[in-house]
Structure 1
Amino acid sequence: MRNRQNVVYALVAAAVIAIVFGAFTISKGANGPVNQQQTSQTTQSHTSGEGSTKATDTADLAKLSYTSGKSAVVSVNNNRSTLNKNDWQRNHVIYSDLDNQNRTATANTAYLEAHNVANDSLRVRQYVRPTGWHQKMDDGQAIINRGHLIAYSLSGGIDQDGNYSPDNESGDQNNPKNLFTQTAFSNQTLQTIYESKVRNALRDGKKVIYQAQAIFEGDNEMANGVHLQAISTDGQLNFNVYIFNVQPDYQFDYATGRSKVDRDMNVPTPDTSPEY
C-alpha cells in the first residue's frame, strides 16, 4: 500500500513539475520572441507609413478637385505645420530651382524675422511670365496674377539668391523661382489671409519658418493650388493649408492655363478675407 502511495506521489510531483515547466516555457515564448517580433513589425509598419505619407503629400494634394460652392481652403494635417521650429538658424530664404518644365514645383522655404516686412512703396511692375500664363480681363479686372510663393511683403532685404542684406529694403520681385500663375481670387482673397498671419507674427517680434509650394498635377502648366504652412519658433503661429487655384465665374484648363467663363462657378469669400 505504501509503495502504491509513493508511486502516486511521484506521478503527481512529476505532473506538477511538467505543468510548471510547460507554463514557464509558454510564458517565455509568448512574452519573449513573439513580442519582439510584434514590436519589430509595428515599428516597420509605423516607419513605412510615415515615409509613404511624406512621399505622397504633394501627389495627394494635386489630385484634389474643387467643387463649386465649397470652401477653396483645405486644412492639411489638421492645420498643424510639419515644419520643425528648431530649424530656424539664420534669416534667409531657400528658393528652389525650377523643374525641367520651368515650373516652381518645389517648395520655397523662408526663415523670417521682423525686418523682413517689406516697404510696400518699393514695388515695381512685374514682367516674368510663369508657365500657364494666359491673362484675361473681366470688367477691366485681371483674373490671374503673378503669384509669389514667398510674398513680397515677407521678403524685405532678401535677394534672389535668398540672402539677407540690410541695405535692401525691397521685397522679392521678378524672381522666376518665386512666381507662378495664380488666380486673382486665390492670391488676393485667400493666400493673403495666411500671409497676414505671418506678417503679424513678425511685427510681434517672432521668428517664423514659412513654406509655400505650388502644386501641379502631372505635366500641367498651371498649378491646381498652393500649399502653405508656417510655424513660429515659440509655436504660437502654426498653420498648414491647401488653397485651390480657382476664380469665381471661371473654369481653367490647368494643362495649359487657358480659361473660359462659367457663371455657375461659385467660390465663397472667407469672413477673414481683407477687402480691397
Structure 2
Amino acid sequence: MARRRSRRKTKTTNGDFWAIVIIILFLLWFVSTKGGSDPSGHQTMNRITRSDRQKSNQIDKAKPAAKVYGGLSHEDYQKLANLNFKSGSSSYITVNNDHSTLIKNAWRVNRVIYSDLDSLNRTSHSNTAFLQKRNVANDSLRVRQFVEPTGWHYNRRNGTQIYNRGHLIAYSVSAGIDFEGNFNPGNHSGDQNNPKNLFTQSAFSNQRIQTMFESRIRVALRQNKKVIYQATPIFRGEELMARGINLQAVSTDGELDFNVYLFNVQPGYSFNYNNGRAKVNHEIFVKDNY
C-alpha cells in the first residue's frame, strides 16, 4: 500500500510540473505576440532591434575642436558622417550626453564666424555665433530666399514640401549681423540669402526639429543671456546633400547647454545624398519625439 501511495504522489508532482511549464510557455507566447495580434513575433523583435540600433547611433563622448571657442572637432564630424538613419528611429540624437563642447567663457564680441564654402561649394564647416538679446530678429522682415545650395531640387511632390533652404545660424537669432559676420545696428533683419549660411535640408528636419532648438536659444536671449551657438552640416565624402546637422549651444552662465545631431530625413521619402534627389519611399518613417 505504501508503494502505491508513493506512485500517486509522483504522478501528482509530475502533473504540477507540466502545468507550470505550460503556463510559462503561454505567458511567453502572449508577451512576444502581443496577445496573439503579432503571431510571428516580428513586431516585438523589430522593436528590440530598433532599440539596439538607436543605442548604437550615439556619440557619448566628444572633445572640443582645437579653437579658442571649442565646438565640433574634425574627429567627431567624421563619426557623425558615418551614422546611418534607420527607419523608425528618432529624428535626432544627443552628442556628448547632450553637453556642448563650446567653451562658454570664450564669448567676447557679438558676431558670427561664417566659414567659407568648400571646394564643392558646400557649407561643410561650422558657423559659430556669439549672440545676445539684440540679435532676436523681427520675422516680418523676412524676404524670399533664392540661393540654391548644393543638392537643391524642385521643392514639391504631389503637394508635399520636401526641401528647405536650411539656415545654419537661424534668421530669428541673427538680427543685425551682416555677411561678414559683424553686428551692424542699422541692419534690423536677420541673415538672409547668404550662401555661407544655407544648405539643402529636408522640410521635416528644418521645420519640425531644428526649430525646437532654435526656440530654446531665443528664449535664452530674451532672458538677456549671452549664448554661443554653432551649427555644422555633416556631409559624407563628396556628397552634395548633408546627411544631417550638428547643433550645439551654451550660455555664458551654463543654464542653456545642448548638443544634438539631426538626421536630414523626410518621412515617406528617401534621398540620394550624392545629388540630393528624393523618391517616394513609404518604408521611411520617423519616430515621434518632437
* Shared fold (TM-score, shorter chain, > 0.5): yes
Match of residue 42 from structure 1: none
1:196 and 2:215 are equivalent in the alignment: yes
Is 1:56 matched with 2:84? no
Deviation at 1:51, TM superposition (A): 8.6
The alpha carbon displacement at 1:50 in A equals: 8.3
Task: Pick closer, same or farther for the CA change 1:175–1:223 going to 2, 3 Å.
Answer: same
Q: 1:51 to 1:210 in 2, by over 3 A?
A: closer
Q: How does 1:180-219 map to 2 (within 5 A)?
A: 180-219=199-238
Task: Tell me the residue number matched to 2:116.
Answer: 97
Q: Distance in 2 between matches of 1:70 and 1:141?
A: 22
Q: Work out whether residues 210 and 229 of structure 1, in 8 Å CA contact, stay in contact via their aligned partners in 2.
A: yes
Give the match for residue 262 of structure 2. Answer: 243
Task: Note the C-alpha offset of 1:264.
Answer: 1.3
Residue 77 (structure 1) aligns with: 96
> Is contact 1:225–1:243 with CA below 8 Å preserved after alignment?
yes
Q: How does 1:219-230 map to 2 (within 5 A)?
A: 219-230=238-249
Q: Give the letter for the 1:212 counterpart.
A: A
**Matching residue of 2:29:** none
Decide whether the 8 Å contact of 1:135 with 1:142 is kept in 2.
no
User: Normalised by the size of structure 1, how large is the TM-score?
Assistant: 0.78
Query: What residue number does 1:132 align with?
Result: 151
How far, CA to CA, are the matches of 1:130 and 1:144 in structure 2? 11
Residue of structure 2 in register with 1:9 after alignment: none
How far apart, in 1, do the equivalents of 2:73 and 2:165 lie? 28
Instruction: Give the TM-score normalised by structure 2.
Output: 0.74
Conserved in 2, the CA contact under 8 Å of 1:189 and 1:269? no
Change (3 A) 1:270 1:221: same
Is 1:270 equivalent to 2:289 in the alignment? Answer: yes
Counterpart residue number, 2:252: 233
SS in 2 for 1:195: helix
Matched, 1:113 2:132: yes
2:260 corresponds to 1:260:
no
Inter-CA distance 252–91: structure 2 relative to 1 (3 Å threshold):
same
- Contact preservation (8 Å) 2:91, 2:289: no
Give distance in 1, aligned partners of 2:141 and 2:286.
32
Name which of 165, 175, 198 aligns with 2:184: 165
Structure of larger gyration radius: 1
Instruction: Give secondary structure in 2 for the equivalent of 1:74.
Output: strand
Q: Classify the secondary structure of the residue corresponding to 2:80.
A: helix
Structure 1 pair 160/227, CA: closer, same or farther in 2 (3 Å)? same
- Cα RMSD of the aligned pairs, angstroms, is 1.6
| Secondary structure of 1:96 counterpart | coil
Question: How many Å apart are 1:246 and its aligned residue?
Answer: 0.1
Gaps of 5+ in 1: 1-48, 272-276
Distance 1:51 1:161 in 2: 22
Instruction: State the alpha-carbon separation in 1 of the partners of residues 156 and 174 from structure 2.
Output: 29
- Which letter does structure 1 place at the counterpart of 2:201? Q
Return the offset for 1:55. Answer: 3.8
